[in-house]
Amino acid sequence: MSSSTPVENLVEQDEEMLKRALLHPSSLLRAPQHLGMKVLDREAFTRRIPTVAVYIKDKRNIQRIRKAAGSVFLLDPLDRTVIDPKRLYGDEGKQTYIIPLLPSVNVDDESSMPADLAQLVKEGKVELVPKEGILTYADFGSEEILKSILPRDRYDGIHRGFTLTGHIAHLNIHGEFTNYKEVIAQVIMDKNPTVETVVSKIEDVGSHSEFRTFPMEILAGKSDTQVSLRSSGCHYEFDFAKVYWNSRLENEHDRIANLCAKGDAVCDVMAGVGPFAIPAARHNRALVWANDLNGDSYESMVRNVEKNRVSSLVYPFNTDGREFIRLSSKALLRDGGKTIAFDPNPPNAPRDPAINSKLKPIETYTIPKVFKRFIMNLPASAVEFLDAYIGLYAGLEPLFQDPSKSLATPGQEGKYPLPIIHVYTFNRHNLKDIDEAAKEICQVVSGYLDYPMRVERTDNLKDLYAQTMQAKTKENNSKKATISGGAENAPSAPGKVTSEEYFPEGGISVGYVRAVAPVKSMYCVSFRLPWEVAFRTPPKQLSEMEKKLEQMKSIWLKSDETAQWPGKLKQ
Ligand SMILES: C[S@@+](CC[C@H](N)C(=O)[O-])C[C@H]1O[C@@H](n2cnc3c(N)ncnc32)[C@H](O)[C@@H]1O
């Protein structure tokens, strides 16, 4: 080796590494190995790199130099482009035209370089100088760093495997990786500028966690679990340690919210902090009765409803879901027909149209007597609440469309369709075996309704949603072209169903939402409440709690013309 190669200048780096560097030069640019590092030492990732620098005297020659020296450029091992001189040589790389070459180039030996490059040197167009480059912790990505620390053969992409909730990254760390949890958390925080806190589950959320929250430990960053985030075009604030939130459900929240139409009455039985209810009201003007048993979720939902300015459309409650199904349905039967007013203008906007050309008219909605749909997202146990629908409308048959008759049959017009129920559940089968999952789920649903349901269709809901959105955009575009003004405030026509929502009596649709674990997937089961179940007599006996709540009906609604939904009723 000639004394002019830069390699020998690097006293810190061992022989083995240098040999490897000459054979596989790009290995020089990888993060140094620190297998087993448990406390993050950022300095230890500083790497001194032997290179030869090409100083370019006139930038007009760059193309020629590229052609001449391309085969000995020092390439980034990840994307195979020339390593950025600014990264490698700091300020000098920023200020000078300089390109790093492989350390195998010997500036004193023409035979170690391409002939065209030697020619350029002779012509004085470039100067080759042995030069040390430096890469630091900041230059390596999280994957690169973690791969160099964690047991290599079991490295499983942990740097990507976190979910982001506002400023909090939530990691699931298993097995031997738990020994490295702090170092992993620190790297994730360093490499993701929006992450300010990294948390990990202490125990499995399991069925013992009634409110689907989990005990968490803070692994890195500030110990503040109060988050503020945007999802489905709405704003949410909540304490991540006290309530349920899953950013991965945004698509599903959007999908259901988009099934809701203007003036529809919707009952969100386990509403959390409002991610179905608020977008359904904000974007689609549904009237949503939203309930959660967790007092903290309820409090956050109330604040989120106010923040998103949908207080006249979303009515938060804090009681048990089973009772809520029956009680809210009864309250609606009694109070449907009243009107509510919604002001779509920002609170501070001038209300005088002479000053404010953007002033929108106050919207009014007539409260339907019957919910269009129920949403039950508590996958671990929501199916067990289905018996609450048995006999829900016993004795009220004349109000409803008879599913055995066509809508055109005299006497059917103006009647309500029975509600659609969306109930979430888990099943051991994944998307590949969705038919098996659907069969098992159907059996369970039939059991709780005490009525033989059958599988009508299965879907991958992500795909279905994407298709629906495409169709909607098309429809909106053609509407824009043909409609000028129109029935802005008209509730969706009773009985109008989209093809996705064609539910023949007793038919369930089973939709795959996402995998939550290797043998656990989340599904959404949708069906129209069967006639026989809705009107079965004798209806279910009222529980003591239900009776108690029944007596409180009078304070739920004032009986004047414009209903003032209480919104803040807390048991
Ligand atoms: C999986 S989370 C879903 C929350 C929200 N719908 C969402 O999509 O983010 C289930 C929610 O059910 C609530 N919950 C648990 N048991 C309940 C019950 N018996 N009645 C009503 N809500 C309940 C929990 O507090 C939790 O907020």
Quote the pLDDT of residue 294.
96
Quote the pLDDT of residue 553.
43
Q: 261-275, 327-341, 397-411, 483-497: which range is least confident on average?
A: 483-497
Q: Which residues are annotated as a binding site?
A: 253, 292-293, 320-321, 377
Q: What is the CA(197)–ligand 1 centre distance, in A?
A: 25
Which range, 123-132, 331-340, 439-448, 544-553, is most confident? 439-448
Mean pLDDT of 411-433: 94
pLDDT in tens, 299-309: 999 999 999 99
The secondary structure of 278-328 as a DSSP string is HHHHHHH--EEEEE-S-HHHHHHHHHHHHHTT-TTTEEEE-S-HHHHHHHH
Q: Which residues are annotated as a binding site for S-adenosyl-L-methionine?
A: 253, 292-293, 320-321, 377
Residue 276 Cβ < 6 Å to ligand 1: yes
Instruction: Say yes or no to pLDDT of 208 above 60.
Output: no
Ligand 1, atom 4, residue with closest C-alpha? 272
Quote the pLDDT of residue 411.
83
d(C-alpha 345, C-alpha 542), whole Å: 42
Residue 304 Cβ < 6 Å to ligand 1: no
Residue 465 Cβ < 6 Å to ligand 1: no
Instruction: Say yes or no to pLDDT of 284 above 70.
Output: yes
d(C-alpha 99, C-alpha 96), whole Å: 9
- Contact (Cβ atoms closer than 8 angstroms) between residue 161 and residue 248: no
Residue type, 18: L
Q: What is the CA(295)–ligand 1 centre distance, in A?
A: 11
Instruction: Say yes or no to pLDDT of 468 above 70.
Output: yes
Average pLDDT, the chain: 85
pLDDT in tens, 522-555: 999 999 999 999 999 866 666 665 565 555 444 4
Q: What is the CA(297)–ligand 1 centre distance, in A?
A: 8
Q: Nearest to residue 233, comparing CAs of 312, 168, 309? A: 309
Q: What is the CA(332)–ligand 1 centre distance, in A?
A: 22
pLDDT in tens, 82-136: 888 888 998 887 778 899 998 888 899 988 899 999 999 999 999 999 999 999 9
- Contact (Cβ atoms closer than 8 angstroms) between residue 199 and residue 239: no
Q: What is the CA(68)–ligand 1 centre distance, in A?
A: 66
Quote the pLDDT of residue 465.
86
Instruction: Say yes or no to pLDDT of 179 above 50.
Output: yes
How wide is the angle at C-alpha 393 spanned by C-alphas 305 and 333, nearest 5°? 45
Residue 203 Cβ < 6 Å to ligand 1: no
Quote the pLDDT of residue 543.
65
Q: What is the CA(495)–ligand 1 centre distance, in A?
A: 29
Ligand 1, atom 1, residue with closest C-alpha? 378
How sure is the predictor about 405, in pLDDT bands with cuts at 50, 70 and 90?
confident
Domains of the chain by range and CATH? 6-139 (no CATH), 142-224 (3.30.300.110), 246-481+488-556 (3.40.50.150)
Q: What is the CA(212)–ligand 1 centre distance, in A?
A: 7
| Inter-CA distances, 456 with 338, 503, 527, Å | 36, 8, 9
Residue 220: both structure tokens together:
């890195």
Residue 484: CB atoms within 10 Å: 6
Q: What is the CA(449)–ligand 1 centre distance, in A?
A: 21
Residue 378 Cβ < 6 Å to ligand 1: yes
**Ligand 1 atom at minimal distance to the Cα of residue 292:** 22
Q: What is the CA(316)–ligand 1 centre distance, in A?
A: 13
pLDDT in tens, 92-104: 877 788 999 988 8
- Contact (Cβ atoms closer than 8 angstroms) between residue 133 and residue 164: no
How sure is the predictor about 518, in pLDDT bands with cuts at 50, 70 and 90?
confident
Residue type, 272: G
**Ligand 1 atom at minimal distance to the Cα of residue 246:** 9
The secondary structure of 494-513 as a DSSP string is TT---GGG---TTEEEEEEE
Is pLDDT larger for residue 152 or for residue 175?
A: 175
Residue 274 Cβ < 6 Å to ligand 1: no
Name the 3-class secondary structure at 149: helix
Residue 257 Cβ < 6 Å to ligand 1: no
Q: What percent of the chain has pLDDT over 90?
A: 55
Instruction: Say yes or no to pLDDT of 564 above 60.
Output: no
Quote the pLDDT of residue 127.
92
Quote the pLDDT of residue 539.
64
Instruction: Say yes or no to pLDDT of 261 above 50.
Output: yes
Instruction: Say yes or no to pLDDT of 184 above 70.
Output: yes
Rg (CA), the chain: 32
pLDDT in tens, 15-40: 565 566 666 666 778 888 899 999 99
Quote the pLDDT of residue 3.
39
Mean pLDDT of 170-192: 89
Mean pLDDT of 413-438: 95
Q: What percent of the chain has pLDDT over 70?
A: 83
pLDDT in tens, 141-158: 898 899 899 886 666 666
Ligand 1, atom 27, residue with closest C-alpha? 272
Q: Are strands 420-427 and 520-528 parallel, antiparallel or unpaired?
A: antiparallel
Mean pLDDT of 404-419: 87
The secondary structure of 351-414 as a DSSP string is S-TTT-TTPPPPEEEEPPSS-SEEEE--TTTGGGGGGGGTTTTTT-GGGB--TTS-TTSTT-TT
Is pLDDT larger for residue 493 or for residue 26?
A: 26
Measured in residues, the chain has a length of: 571
Residue 388 Cβ < 6 Å to ligand 1: no
Secondary structure, 3-state, 185-224: HHHHHHHCCCCCEEEEECCCCCCCCCCCCCCEEEEEECCC
Ligand 1, atom 24, residue with closest C-alpha? 211
Residue 293 Cβ < 6 Å to ligand 1: yes
pLDDT in tens, 501-514: 778 899 999 999 99
Residue 294 Cβ < 6 Å to ligand 1: yes
Quote the pLDDT of residue 12.
43
pLDDT in tens, 315-329: 999 999 999 999 999
Quote the pLDDT of residue 561.
34
Residue 385 Cβ < 6 Å to ligand 1: no
Cis ω on the peptide bond leading into residue 566 (within 30° of 0)? no
